[in-house]
Amino acid sequence: QLSTSYHRRYHHCAMGRGQRLLLSHMFQPQNLREDQVLSLEGRLGNLTCKSQRLMLQVGLILPASPGCYHLLPYTVRAMEKLVRMIDQEMQAIGGQKINMPSLSPAELWQATSRWQLMGKELLRIRDRHGKEYCLGPTHEEAVTALVASQKNLSYKQLPFLLYQVTRKFRDEPRPRFGLLRGREFYMKDMYTFDASPEAAQQTYSLVCDAYCSLFHRLGLQFIKAQADVGSIGGTMSHEFQLPVDIGEDRLVICPNCSFSANMETLDSLQTNCPACQGPLTETKGIEVGHTFYLGTKYSSIFNAQFANIHGELSLAQMGCYGLGVTRILAAAIEVLSTEDCIRWPSLLAPYQVCLIPPKKGSKEAVATELMEHLHDHIIEGASQLRGEVLLDDRTHLTIGNRLKDANKFGYPFVVIAGKRALEDPAHFEVWCQNTGEVVFLTKEGVLELL
Ligand code: ATP
Ligand code: MG
Ligand code: MG
Ligand code: MG
């Protein structure tokens, strides 16, 4: 038997299938003023960027401690959609999903000297026995030791493309920009093990192509730039950057050919394009992904080996590939949104449709039932929209006020039961956020459009 509160939350559809998701029941602090948002962040100055302000204002995230945020229901939905897309891309090239512990023993990091090299960015802890650990900022050590623990690997089994989507911890010197630079954040990190340098190069291109495909599907314009290998090391590296003013990386791009690079990689600032000698232009970017060709840098330390075609032991050729999952969400909002309204890559919008029934007591109030029928019609007719249709049941508010909110949240489709819902046949007003179009459609028309 269902509890009363369950019944309150989900008004069951007439058909008994599906449920009506009511906006009034969402756990979500709403319409915070800028000063309220600032005090939540415990900051005196301005918020550092648009995505941070908007995400706090509409209740997508709440600050927990410096650089750490609670991810609220809308954000988690968007993130789960993003992770599903990442899974599709990674598994399409043979990726196998794993999940490694966040606690990473100091010995592993001492073996690669990164226990010292990473300095204060590494969050270190001691257990009750005095044994030292860090909270994983990345997992090259852990995954290489994991693969090295398998002693009878053969070249016939390779390549292995192992990846995970987990929380990462970095004691950033300046956590800021909301989810863009946190101290605790989600990353997709993939580590690949190949039998030869040639095969590893091929894997490297495959993963880069998968990243390109992901950003294309998200509808995000990106730059694939040559990058520095940093503390991860290796011999070849690219960053995937979203060009935007608040980006912390400086990039050069060649308008003549496809060359682009992080400024860090260039010896001097007035250099010309190394590929075509043409003049370079400069732009700023947010690093959303990073790929490294590692060779045997880590496999030689941990002895990650396999039996080669001659039956001799050979070191695995590795690559590692990161995507900032929470950073991609915030960066997408940063580049797509207006100053006041959030815009999502449509595949990531937490809910695809918001239905706004008439105000209680208004002339149109008789159309409330029509809206409920429309809801059930959509859910019955388009199974992929199950769980994607939110009913803004705050009927004490005018349609206009609720439309303003819906606009701010960036649902790809907003459907209103206004005056024309009283005509025969009833027409609903449909706002298509991504094209800016407003159309009047019958129940059947709405379903067709969605
Ligand atoms: P940055 O230069 O911005 O500090 P990084 O080069 O240190 O990033 P990588 O070690 O390459 O980061 O990690 C892979 C990906 O993880 C990055 O491309 C980025 O998308 C994401 N990432 C890194 N640091 C953070 C952070 N503090 N908060 C959110 N995402 C992050
Ligand atoms: Mg960093
Ligand atoms: Mg970087
Ligand atoms: Mg990087």
pLDDT: which is higher, 266 or 133:
133
Where residue 46 falls among pLDDT bands split at 50, 70, 90?
Answer: low
The pLDDT value given to residue 2: 47
Q: Is the pLDDT of residue 41 over 80?
A: no
pTM, rounded to two decimals: 0.94
pLDDT: which is higher, 67 or 17:
67
**pLDDT > 90: percent of the chain:** 82
Show the 3-state SS of the chain.
CCCHHHHHHEEECCCCCCEEEEHHHCCCCCCCCHHHHHHHHCCCCCCCCHHHHHHHHCCCEEEEECCEEEECHHHHHHHHHHHHHHHHHHHHCCEEECCCCCEEEHHHHHHCCHHHHCHHHCEEEECCCCCEEEECCCCHHHHHHHHHCCCCCEHHHCCEEEEEEEEEECCCCCCECHHHECCEEEEEEEEEEECCHHHHHHHHHHHHHHHHHHHHHHCCCCEEEECCCCCCCCCEEEEEEEECCCCCEEEEECCCCCCEEEHHHCCCCCCCCCCCCCCCEEEEEEEEEEEEEEECCCHHHHCCEEECCCCCEEECEEEEEEEEHHHHHHHHHHHHCCCCCCCCCHHHCCCCEEEECCCCCCHHHHHHHHHHHHHHHHHHHCHHHCCCEEECCCCCCCHHHHHHHHHHHCCCEEEECCHHHHCCCCCEEEEECCCCEEEEECHHHHHHHC
**How far does residue 125's CA lie from ligand 3's centre (Å)?**
25
CB under 6 Å to ligand 1: residues?
A: 138, 170, 172, 181-182, 185, 187, 287-290, 322, 324, 326-327
**Mean pLDDT computed over 47-53:** 87
Tens of pLDDT, residues 65-90: 999 999 999 999 999 999 999 999 99
Give the bridge partners for 21, in sequence order. Answer: 10, 390
The pLDDT value given to residue 23: 94
Q: Is the pLDDT of residue 406 over 60?
A: yes
The pLDDT value given to residue 13: 41
**Mean pLDDT computed over 195-212:** 97
The pLDDT value given to residue 267: 76
**Mean pLDDT computed over 217-226:** 97
Q: Are 243 and 357 in contact (CB under 8 A)?
A: no
The pLDDT value given to residue 42: 66
What average pLDDT is seen over the chain? 92
**How far does residue 66's CA lie from ligand 3's centre (Å)?**
20
The pLDDT value given to residue 230: 73
Q: Which ligand is nearest to the CA of 211?
A: 1
Tens of pLDDT, residues 232-282: 667 789 999 999 999 999 999 999 998 999 999 887 768 889 889 999 999
Q: Look up the ipTM and state it.
A: 0.99
- Ion ligand 4: residue ranges with CB closer than 5 A: 290
Q: Are 411 and 433 in contact (CB under 8 A)?
A: yes
The pLDDT value given to residue 233: 67
**Mean pLDDT computed over 87-106:** 98
